[in-house]
Amino acid sequence: MTAASRWCARIVLTGVLPIVCLALLLAALHGAIWGWVVAAGGLMLVVLLQTRRLALLAAWIDGPQHGEVPDSGGAWGEVFRKLSRKLRLDARALAEVEARLGSFSDAMDAVPDGLVVLSENHQVQWANRAAGEHLGIRLPRDGGAIIQQLVRAPGFAEYLSSPDGQSPFILLSPAARRRAYSLRAVPLGERNTLLVSLDVTDARRVEAMRSTFVANVSHELRTPLTVVSGFLEHFGDDSAMSVEQRQHFVRLMSEQTRRMLSLVDDLLTLSRLEADDAPASEEDIDMADLLAQLQAEAEGLSGGRHRLQFRCSGPGLRGNRHELHSAFGNLVSNAIRYTPAGGDIRVRWRLRAGVGVFSVRDSGVGIAAEHLPRLTERFYRIDRGRSRDTGGTGLGLAIVKHILLRHQAALVIDSQPGAGSNFRAEFPEWRLRPQPSPPLPAADEA
Which tens digit of pLDDT belongs to each residue from 54-65?
Answer: 676 666 666 655
pLDDT of residue 12: 46
Tell me which H or E stretch contains 21. helix 3-30
Which strands, in side-by-side order, build the sheet including 283-285? 283-285, 315-319, 432-436
**Of residues 259 and 338, which shows the higher confidence score?**
338
Taking the C-alpha atoms of residue 161 and residue 193, their distance in angstroms, rounded to an integer, is 11
pLDDT of residue 123: 92
* Position 432 pLDDT exceeds 60: yes
pLDDT of residue 446: 46
Per mean pLDDT, which range of 136-145, 271-280, 300-309, 386-395 is the poorest? 386-395
pLDDT of residue 176: 42
Q: Percent of the chain scored above 70 by pLDDT?
A: 71
Q: Percent of the chain scored above 90 by pLDDT?
A: 19
Instruction: Give me the residues paired with residue 127 across strands.
Output: 116
| Mean pLDDT along residues 219-223 | 72
Highest mean pLDDT: which range of 91-100, 157-166, 300-309, 389-398: 300-309
In a 10 Å sphere around its CB, with 0-12 CB exposed, 13-18 middle and 19+ buried, how is residue 289 labelled? Answer: middle
* Mean of the per-residue pLDDT values of the chain: 77
pLDDT of residue 331: 93
Q: How sure is the predictor about 53, in pLDDT bands with cuts at 50, 70 and 90? A: low
Domains of the chain: 3-99 (no CATH), 111-199 (3.30.450.20), 205-275 (1.10.287.130), 283-436 (3.30.565.10)
pLDDT of residue 257: 81
Highest mean pLDDT: which range of 13-17, 280-284, 321-325: 321-325
DSSP assignment of 408-437 equals: T-EEEEEE-TTS-EEEEEEE-GGGEEEEEP
CB 365 within 8 A of CB 338: yes
Which tens digit of pLDDT belongs to each residue from 324-372?
Answer: 999 999 899 989 988 989 899 999 999 998 899 999 999 888 888 888 8
